[in-house]
Amino acid sequence: MLTHKSNTFFLLAVLFLLSVLSFYIEIKWYYFVLVFLFWLLIAVAGSGLIRMNYHLKARSRSFTSERKVAITFDDGPTLITPEVLDILKKNNIKATFFCIGQEIEKYPEIFDRIIAEGHLVGNHSFTHSKKIGLFSKEKMMEEIASTDISIAKFLGKKPNYYRPPFGVTNPNIAKALKLSKHYVIGWNVRSLDTKIKSEKKILKRIKSRISPGSIILLHDTSLKSVRVLEQLLVFLQENNYEAVTVEQLLKIPAYEN
């Protein structure tokens, strides 16, 4: 597996080798730049694509042949969340919600309803700042700890799951999560429901990527996603998929004892 450490080790080793070689033969300066750019390309991809497990180990699916998938919702609670909960209730399905700390503080009743209806919750940072990738280790630890506290007020215990906003990881985030002892939960089916306008296209994207053990990423932030969910549930039923929680899929406890 290519990690940040092994990539950087490879960069330094090749640069060293080129430096030594340059005493004996002519090495063009841009060879050094090319090697560095190659390292940078991998580092950028690894920081943005959670499935690469570049900075940390994220659980992005289950390797099972059972036709089970986990539906997950990010960025709530919002005023849309009750609509999602209504549909899940109607279909008797339990999902996993990765919630933002400051939104839990804003909509405590809605958050309470998520838990009361038997869904699971995980930590999705406190502010969901667009600049989260630039935060120090200490600031990241604060983001994680304050959301744990917000959640614990309702649950009486700490959540074990953390999902990185935007799927962004880096050495500071990895160190903070190692200290906070969270399991990092990713996805292998990204619906892009906040970016793609057409419900049809979103559904097509999900359907073409889904397989046994998939973790599907949706957002409880728009009515468009609610309609996508409704149609997704029909598709799952027609194709004999069972929707379960992340805990049931990965067999990792969602909460601390």
Among 228, 196, 235, 242, smallest CA distance to 87 is for 228
Catalytic residue among 4, 55, 74, 128: 74
Q: For residues 28 and 169, what is the distance between their CA atoms, to the nearest angstrom?
A: 34
| Catalytic status, residue 74 | yes
Bridge-based pairing of strands 120-123 and 215-219 is: unpaired
CB of 108 to Zn ion, least distance (A): 20
Q: Which stretch binds Zn ion (CB under 5 A): 74-82, 88-96, 139-147, 246-254?
A: 74-82
Write the CA distances from 73 to 99, 176, 214, integer angstroms.
Answer: 8, 23, 14
Beta strand 189-190 pairing with 183-185: unpaired
List the one residue from 50, 69, 74, 148 that touches Zn ion (CB under 5 A).
Answer: 74
Q: Which stretch binds Zn ion (CB under 5 A): 33-41, 61-69, 164-172, 189-197?
A: 164-172
Cβ at position 194, least distance to Zn ion in Å: 9
Compute the distance between CA of residue 118 and CA of residue 142 in angstroms, rounded to an integer: 28
DSSP three-state, residue 97: strand
- Tokens for 28? 């063009």
Task: Out of 72, 75, 94, 97, name the contact with Zn ion by CB under 5 A.
Answer: 75
Among the listed residues 55, 124, 182, 219, the single catalytic one is 219
Q: Which is nearer to Zn ion, 42 or 84 (CB)?
A: 84
Q: Which is nearer to Zn ion, 132 or 249 (CB)?
A: 132
- Residues 223/227/228/231 CA torsion (nearest 10 deg): 170
End-to-end CA distance of the chain: 32
Least gap, CB of 103 to Zn ion (angstroms): 10
Closest CB to Zn ion: residue number: 74
46 binds Zn ion (CB under 5 A): no
* Closest distance of CB 224 from Zn ion, Å: 16
**Catalytic (active-site) positions:** 74, 219
Q: Which residues bind Zn ion (CB under 5 A)?
A: 74-75, 165
